[in-house]
Amino acid sequence: MLSYCGRALLIQLLPYWDWTLYSNSDCLIRNPYYFESGLESLQLADCISVCQRYPKVESLHRVDPKDVLQNYLRQNLPLIITDGAEEWVAQREFTVPFLTRLYSDHPALQNTKVCSYWDSHHSLENSPGAFLEEVHRQRLIQWAIQWKNCNKAAAKVIRAFYQRPYFLPPVVELAESNWLLMASGAEDGAMENTFVKVRDHDGDLLMWIAQLQGVFEIQLLPKGMCASRCTHYTLHLSPGETVAVPLQMWEVQYRPFSSIAIGLAATGNWLQDPR
């Protein structure tokens, strides 16, 4: 009965409003962030365009989220947001002693396996807590460790220490998982450390890395067909700064540029046409 009445009402509206123009449309109101599929397919001309007009990674402050997405990320241009992680609890709290206690004492962290674990000493346990305990006891001098909190409960514990980056518009959907990146360089600043790549992006379009403690030297390497046309970017990320990286064109590697460096990272995607 309701279906019949609805059809009758629509027929009566036709002289005043041609709703048939919208009957087969996917949405009634245009989303300014939405774009059709195919625009993300990278061409050689895109590589050349990016590398010619973007000689270095720009640093911005108090950015407009829409500007970040439309004019940087969708154009495959990485960007440093200098106030991207300011006021985060993680920036104040995340030290080696604090994270050692957190991963040793919190039930959601101590009993949960992490994903994509890697450390410079090839530990057999694959346990952040065990490795950090060795670091905390000063049994390791130069070291590096990274892992992804892929368990929902574990990732939620870490998310309690930071907010969604303000520079990402709502249309960007962040993964539930998050990464911790930690490394120690030589006290005298001599950089003998090799770069560590951040892998396992699960096909995501975006990665952001927030610097919490110390300084990371980060290299963004051109991928695929762009590798032969572009040189890499090198940047130094200071506490409170965040770098947003479009993953379609760039891969990320880092090493410490201070005695101890700690970073937090996550990946995400923006809306695409599902057809």
pLDDT at 192: 62
Nearest residue to 263 (alpha-carbon basis) of 108, 136, 111, 158 = 158
Quote the mean pLDDT of the chain. 86
Indicate whether 33 pLDDT > 80: no
Cα angle 149-95-180, degrees, rounded to a multiple of 5: 20
The whole-angstrom distance between residue 65's C-alpha and the CA centroid of its chain comes to 15
Region 219-238: mean pLDDT is 94
Instruction: Domains for the chain: give ranges and CATH numbers.
Output: 44-270 (2.60.120.650)
- CA–CA separation, 188 and 24 (whole Å): 66
Q: Does the structure show a pLDDT above 80 at 268?
A: yes
Burial 6-32 (b: 16+ CB within 10 A, else e): eeeeeeeeeeeeeeeeeeeeeeeeeee
The more confident residue out of 18 and 219 is 219
58: β partners: 79
**pLDDT-based confidence at residue 257 (cuts at 50, 70, 90):** very high
What's residue 128's pLDDT?
96
For residue 224, is pLDDT > 70?
yes
What is the pLDDT confidence band of residue 79, given thresholds at 50, 70 and 90?
A: very high
Distance CA 230, CA 245 (A): 16
Within 185-248, strands assigned E span: 196-197, 206-213, 216-222, 233-237, 242-246
